[in-house]
Structure 1
């Protein structure tokens, strides 16, 4: 094959030349700048270097006509260039691309051309190839590159109707040793320059922007794979765009920290305002990550080089790698961002932004606004629930339920192994708390201990079982016990949205149950709670109490609370509900995978939570008993996980009966024993393969350290 590579002296273009030559292809490289990156290939008989400009239509026509396949990489790139010479960016990236496209159409040549993640403009989050785009003010030249790449893609689609065969590749932050000269160009190169010159690494606007970096070898492999399929006429890649990258998100602050660790750099970092660093007009994209399902499905491609290894290669090339990492152990030794045990995920879509903007414009942002009503209806449909009521939090939902039931003086039984909000609701409803022990395997309220409590406590008005980490208690036995003493069953199901028992999403036994919609929950609306009951009068009373206790006749009003959900939170919830089924299935898959790893270790190391038959939990949290912790120490166990970059958290801790207010009042041996050993490990609605592997490795290493 005779291949033409425009921009063949550039970073990605030059990376293709060696593999093409090794494949026996003849390669013509066109570039207006130097071919320094191709110096190692100088003199190769099938390599031809042409100094020229893609704006030269005659030259492009000639070179395309002589070739069988075209790789179009010629472009002006880099934030510095967008702001300094926008006209040149537009000319080269639009008019030059037009020349190449028309020559390919004229001569019937297939073309792979380089687009960019910048083509997504200001759009944030997980970006698939069909995602909508938003661009900034046209008076701001910062967006000229993004617009030029989008124009190129649109032009290709238009010419495809006339017969052009193309594939567009949207690269997400490709890096490598030859990206730019140290100190210039893009972020990795700028950091390399600072390390070389012994200067602080600049953190623009706090370094909070998150990107996914892809090592050049992986990007080149994906590019060549797509080119071969296009050259063969494969319809699966023809006239399509593909994201190319690696899903290993990193903030610029954490990127700087990794490069500091790998190099032994001592000058640290320096905060710099973006407009001072890049110049007037700079705008940052806070969070950008590629959806890579398309290229995985078509090519089976997944990037192999992890970020720590790739950065070590870059620093090693420039002689800046700390000798401690020269043995190739960067991936396992360098400090990386801590994986938190809880990490909320939202989908900041244009539709969500539009809904919030419309709500703000209308002024209807609270007091049972239209979005809250829509959200309430949508949740009732999802849960197949007869009656529901939205409130500001699950904590307030519990309190409102107990107050609406008007139980009078008496006691309430609840597990000590729960969050303090369960206790708060009981106390603020005027009830005396009695703590119940837990089942040793399920970690939920023990029906046997409940029976014992009810047999000796004459004034129990309510029983409050709690869903623990997504696993429900034995509600059938608990309900029967409560019924024998005429106590109401109020189910604290804050952890349970998405859990199914015998294919049901709500429980049949309780008088009322309350779900949590807090940011840390499986289904988040930032803040919020949901009350579910078959008694619509109970929910009506809870709504009245949540609105300051106001009655339809003001003279019938009683003291209440302000516990309404705002329309802004409802907008987030409605948006979350759209993709919740997919998020729940991902979370279940992650949990099952990590539970297998825990279970494969010996029982002297870990024991996972028992899941009853007929239950499909939402896996609100991933918990395990660390059997070695009583001897090794729970804090030492937490520190060991942290040393591997994994946060392990005691949750629920402390158990409520150990609060000084109630200490030495109740004997709960199963709760005490569990709390000596139980830790929650990271589990999120979205986890990258690299993250899962790090958690798995930490589980194995910590367990084998303390229980060989």
Structure 2
């Protein structure tokens, strides 16, 4: 068997204490209202709005439906959107499902994010929006992107699936652009098992989003939009409320993991890492390293295999690029020639385990196997 019985996993979900969750479940059972904008749904929206420092938030049942709904909210359809190939496939899938063609542009090697210098040359008369991703929770160059959007009359949707709680200069990045989407999937820093949200700036837009996620209802007998069922239920809302009580401690523990990795790997030939920006408050959702196959003692893929064989699960995230998946290969902008930086990063990235349950002994073991070609010995 390649994997040991108790492997070191690449991530682990933040779980609220079961003893604390049971009273919430008992209360939900007493209320007999388990979905449709119930008590805990409303409490969680209010709590998240306060915690994240955002004016309006609408909860969803997963992280993909907010992306779908963002296009609908802004009326973006039958057009083109400029986006990144270096993301989870849901980013571009949401565009296709809205009859929007993704136009891929290359990324910035320093952040992994959409390169603003590549955007304008990709704009055509059919371009209606820009869809950047705050990759690994690294903030995009939102100022430069907004200047381009304003110049060309484009909407900006930020896929902030990795950016829960991330701030720049003490201010949330979730209010940049026209709308931001969040994912609360179990693998994220903050989770509601499955879940997600849309962040918007005014009450009218929130009401419209709330209608869209509830089949298009505006009252008990009126449907005014072609909506979808994207509501979060009461059980996951209560779970989310409890997890919010533990998120700061979890992020602090993730930060410690990142600090251990940085100290141990900073001078290793063949390994590069993103530099941290002192003006950014991170959530440490991932820890990617980039392997130079010609300088490191082994290749990225062999390191991935070797770690796995020794009970350490890493992830080549994001590999392959979205642009290399079959549904997107026919798009001219998906060519390797058009995306040299993105392809280079995808071919070299390896995300090491990072979560709140890792201990120093496990971290020492991980670092040892990364650095040492002789079976992880020190």
- Number of corresponding residues: 368
TM-score, structure 2 as length reference:
0.92
| Corresponding residue SS for 2:128 | strand
Counterpart CA distance in 1 for 2:327 and 2:247 is: 40
Q: Does the 8 Å contact 1:339/1:682 carry over to 2?
A: yes
Deviation for aligned residue 1:336:
6.2
| Corresponding residue SS for 2:48 | helix
| Corresponding residue SS for 1:411 | strand
Q: CA RMSD in A?
A: 2.1
Residue 388 of structure 1 corresponds to 57
Counterpart CA distance in 2 for 1:536 and 1:378 is: 17
Unaligned runs of 5+ in 1: 1-256, 258-333
Residue number among 356, 363, 370 corresponding to 1:685 in the alignment: 356
Alignment CA distance shift 1:408-1:553 (3 Å): farther
Structure whose CA Rg is larger:
1
| Corresponding residue SS for 2:218 | coil
Counterpart CA distance in 2 for 1:628 and 1:386 is: 46
TM-score, structure 1 as length reference:
0.50
| Corresponding residue SS for 2:272 | strand
Counterpart CA distance in 2 for 1:625 and 1:496 is: 21
Counterpart CA distance in 2 for 1:367 and 1:698 is: 49
Counterpart CA distance in 1 for 2:260 and 2:91 is: 31
2:291 aligned with 1:622, yes or no?
Answer: no
Residue number among 74, 83, 108 corresponding to 1:405 in the alignment: 74
Structure 1 consecutive aligned stretches of length 4 or more whose deviation exceeds 4 Å:
629-633
2:265 aligned with 1:594, yes or no?
Answer: no
Deviation for aligned residue 1:629:
6.9
Deviation for aligned residue 1:693:
1.4
Q: Does the 8 Å contact 1:385/1:506 carry over to 2?
A: no
Residue number among 238, 241, 250 corresponding to 1:583 in the alignment: 250
Residue 196 of structure 2 corresponds to 529
Q: Does the 8 Å contact 1:622/1:680 carry over to 2?
A: yes
Counterpart CA distance in 2 for 1:572 and 1:629 is: 47
Counterpart CA distance in 1 for 2:155 and 2:141 is: 16
| Corresponding residue SS for 1:676 | helix
Deviation for aligned residue 1:633:
4.3
Residue number among 340, 346, 364 corresponding to 1:675 in the alignment: 346
Counterpart CA distance in 1 for 2:262 and 2:5 is: 24
Residue 449 of structure 1 corresponds to 118
Deviations 1:230-282 (A, max 9, x none): xxxxxxxxxxxxxxxxxxxxxxxxxxx9xxxxxxxxxxxxxxxxxxxxxxxxx
**Greater RCO, CA 8 A, separation 6+:** 2
Residue 105 of structure 2 corresponds to 436
Counterpart CA distance in 2 for 1:627 and 1:616 is: 29
2:131 aligned with 1:464, yes or no?
Answer: yes
Counterpart CA distance in 1 for 2:251 and 2:99 is: 37
Deviation for aligned residue 1:372:
0.6
Deviation for aligned residue 1:519:
0.7
| Corresponding residue SS for 2:44 | helix
Counterpart CA distance in 2 for 1:478 and 1:342 is: 31
Counterpart CA distance in 2 for 1:596 and 1:381 is: 34
| Corresponding residue SS for 2:181 | strand
Residue 661 of structure 1 corresponds to 327
Deviation for aligned residue 1:504:
1.6
Counterpart CA distance in 1 for 2:4 and 2:40 is: 44
Unaligned runs of 5+ in 2: none
Residue number among 22, 26, 29 corresponding to 1:357 in the alignment: 26
Residue number among 304, 310, 335 corresponding to 1:638 in the alignment: 304
1:274-289 mapped onto 2 (5 Å cutoff): none
Q: Does the 8 Å contact 1:405/1:538 carry over to 2?
A: no
2:316 aligned with 1:650, yes or no?
Answer: yes
Counterpart CA distance in 2 for 1:688 and 1:497 is: 23
Deviation for aligned residue 1:470:
1.6
Counterpart CA distance in 2 for 1:629 and 1:564 is: 49
Alignment CA distance shift 1:587-1:660 (3 Å): same
Q: Does the 8 Å contact 1:344/1:520 carry over to 2?
A: yes
Q: Does the 8 Å contact 1:437/1:671 carry over to 2?
A: yes
Deviation for aligned residue 1:442:
0.9
